[in-house]
Chain A
């Protein structure tokens, strides 16, 4: 509580971040939002099952990231907010690798998109209530931890250490998400707080620009949830360790 209060008070004095391109070190919550918003939604097969050219973009084996980057959706994690035994079509939930070592490894499918693609469903058909038909949705989506150290990630001349999430939105390859706040990183040190930090860009370029993945995975649940197709507040888990991304467009002042 004290920390929340201090951040709120500090934000009153914080200046807006100057718009531009930065190397950003993203905390586990915002990195988790990125995994969910930017790549997770793109992996939902109903968005590309009907579109051959999009399917080509998301073809397994296509490289979009560095070797150290792997992203997983897993509904079988104990006690997480997006966990379930069966999806809303009665298909058993499971673990699906979306990106393995920088290469597209899989997609999330309901029965309809699976049939369309000639593949098996992955147990990701979910509805927010009985009043809605199931759609392809994520469960717990996270970036798999590696071994980068946070101090090493911050060892940059100029950049941003970006903290927390105020939400995110995606339009397939384009994404935007807002941080609670950020601190400037100057010569390896976190310095003054800045506000109004919105990261925006192209998913594929951003995945290619991830150059360090930390070891400190945290999976978040919390209030709220995911929205899609008029079905909002679906419980999901999102997570990641600290991640460093080069050359991110930050829309500030």
Chain B
């Protein structure tokens, strides 16, 4: 289908590109410890991008028999499209990355039901009053990218993830604990570590502590770090560079973050959700260091934004079949630091340790602002968790918060698109129900 579509389009356009996806998504959900639903969603779709009269047109469909209509629609939109700023890429060797383990392909929904039941039972025996929701999601997809410059890319990918949420209804309200496991590498689910982590949080949360509004050292555990990184992901995006709406404009080579922080956009991490040998327009994926020991290294570009900014693509085009490419992050890694797990809270007379936030993305990302409600967090006293903090929020500017990081953990958590350690921030404004 993709070949025929490209052939039809190239006869009528100056340049053409077909992006095809054939995917199967299987979801198994448990609610309150019981199997709630199973579903499988099959999708096959095609996106056609053309250059006609020097302008870009695009159309997409899930109908494999709609080739002629797709070509006509793409050409029609080109008449009103934006000028083509960059030529389509030619063939090049793809990045080396492991994307598919056969054991993931073979994991049936029956197996997910079995694992879910075992995990729910294990948690029920440890924390009887905790209601457990589980979500297994497995995506198997085949991607095809063809263009009139000779690109012919085909790859298969399988992403398999488990999210767990435990809810405790306590005398003073509700308390959520959460965990995540990336199963994409084909290893069987190890129940014990998940159950251990959730049980520890649930037990610690039964004790309540009060924290007055003020500024404190805050330890952001790996599970909460991605919410803190969101403004950085926005700021390094080549689209914002093109529009001039990023505080990083013109600051390549400048130290922006603490020198303990090296942040990499790694499109070639084995079995990570954002990995692929090529980006969304057939350019080889690569590892892009965006902050090296705190120094800003550069923006992430697709072909069009790179051309607009007078530079080269970084292989960062993201898309699905129904959308045109746009630059984006793939998998974000914060490189490990020197602090062992036992050092996370060590020496803190008073502070806060956060395992999860809610509210990411609502603040002014362009400015780097964050305002996050602490969903699962504990007061720290004399280097130990002293009880759950309820109804607290942290606020500040990520560029300032991460300019002075006290410690970076040397163990990373694999959170799918993120591979991150804990971060200890020395001075964060915390608003709570307690008096200042």
Task: Check if B395 sits within 8 Å of A251, measured CB to CB.
Answer: yes
CB contacts (< 8 Å) of A133 on chain B: these are 37, 39
Q: Interface segment, A69-77, A102-110, A140-148, A174-182? A: A174-182
The 4 closest A-B CB pairs, nearest first, are A251-B393, A198-B371, A176-B359, A19-B431
**Would you call A50 an interface residue if the criterion is a C-beta within 8 Å of the partner chain's C-beta atoms?**
yes
Task: Check if B31 sits within 8 Å of A177, measured CB to CB.
Answer: no
CB contacts (< 8 Å) of A168 on chain B: these are 362
**Would you call B55 an interface residue if the criterion is a C-beta within 8 Å of the partner chain's C-beta atoms?**
no
**Would you call B43 an interface residue if the criterion is a C-beta within 8 Å of the partner chain's C-beta atoms?**
yes
**Would you call B251 an interface residue if the criterion is a C-beta within 8 Å of the partner chain's C-beta atoms?**
no
Shortest Cβ distance from residue A166 to the other chain B in the assembled complex, whole angstroms: 5
**Would you call B220 an interface residue if the criterion is a C-beta within 8 Å of the partner chain's C-beta atoms?**
no
Determine the distance from Cα of A173 to Cα of B174 in the docked complex, in whole angstroms.
7
Q: Which residues of A contact B (CB under 8 A)?
A: 16, 19-21, 46, 50-51, 53-54, 57, 131, 133, 166-178, 195-196, 198, 200-202, 204-205, 249-253
CB contacts (< 8 Å) of A250 on chain B: these are 431
What string of 1s and 0s marks CB contacts (under 8 Å) between B111-152 and chain A?
000000000000000000101000000000000000000000
A50 in contact with B31 given A19-B431, A171-B375, A249-B433 (CB within 8 Å) = yes
Known: A50-B31, A176-B359, A178-B363. 4 other contacts (CB 8 A): A19-B430, A168-B362, A174-B373, A252-B395
Most buried by A among B32, B359, B372, B436: B359
Determine the distance from Cα of A169 to Cα of B359 in the docked complex, in whole angstroms.
6
**Would you call B432 an interface residue if the criterion is a C-beta within 8 Å of the partner chain's C-beta atoms?**
yes
Most buried by B among A173, A174, A252: A174
The closest CB in chain B to the CB of A56 belongs to: B169
A196 in contact with B371 given A20-B213, A168-B362, A173-B174 (CB within 8 Å) = yes
Determine the distance from Cα of A201 to Cα of B129 in the docked complex, in whole angstroms.
24
Shortest Cβ distance from residue B173 to the other chain A in the assembled complex, whole angstroms: 6
Shortest Cβ distance from residue A181 to the other chain B in the assembled complex, whole angstroms: 10
Q: Which of B288-333 contact A (CB under 8 A)?
A: none
The closest CB in chain B to the CB of A53 belongs to: B169
CB contacts (< 8 Å) of A198 on chain B: these are 359, 362-363, 371, 373, 393, 395
A19 in contact with B213 given A200-B431, A251-B371 (CB within 8 Å) = yes
Number of A-B contacts (CB under 8 A): 124
Shortest Cβ distance from residue B231 to the other chain A in the assembled complex, whole angstroms: 12
Q: Which of B129, B213, B371, B430 is A178 in contact with, Cβ under 8 Å?
A: B371
Shortest Cβ distance from residue B157 to the other chain A in the assembled complex, whole angstroms: 19
Shortest Cβ distance from residue A29 to the other chain B in the assembled complex, whole angstroms: 14
**Would you call B429 an interface residue if the criterion is a C-beta within 8 Å of the partner chain's C-beta atoms?**
yes
**Would you call B210 an interface residue if the criterion is a C-beta within 8 Å of the partner chain's C-beta atoms?**
no
Determine the distance from Cα of A172 to Cα of B359 in the docked complex, in whole angstroms.
13
Task: Check if A201 sits within 8 Å of B363, measured CB to CB.
Answer: no
22 A-B pairs with C-beta separation under 8 A: A19-B213, A19-B430, A20-B436, A50-B34, A51-B167, A54-B169, A57-B169, A133-B37, A169-B362, A170-B358, A174-B358, A176-B362, A176-B372, A177-B362, A178-B371, A198-B363, A198-B395, A200-B359, A204-B173, A251-B372, A251-B373, A252-B429
**Would you call B176 an interface residue if the criterion is a C-beta within 8 Å of the partner chain's C-beta atoms?**
yes
**Would you call B155 an interface residue if the criterion is a C-beta within 8 Å of the partner chain's C-beta atoms?**
no
Q: Which of A53, A54, A251 is B394 in contact with, Cβ under 8 Å?
A: A251
Q: Which of B31, B41, B391, B395 is A201 in contact with, Cβ under 8 Å?
A: B391
Determine the distance from Cα of A19 to Cα of B392 in the docked complex, in whole angstroms.
11
Task: Check if B34 sits within 8 Å of A21, measured CB to CB.
Answer: no
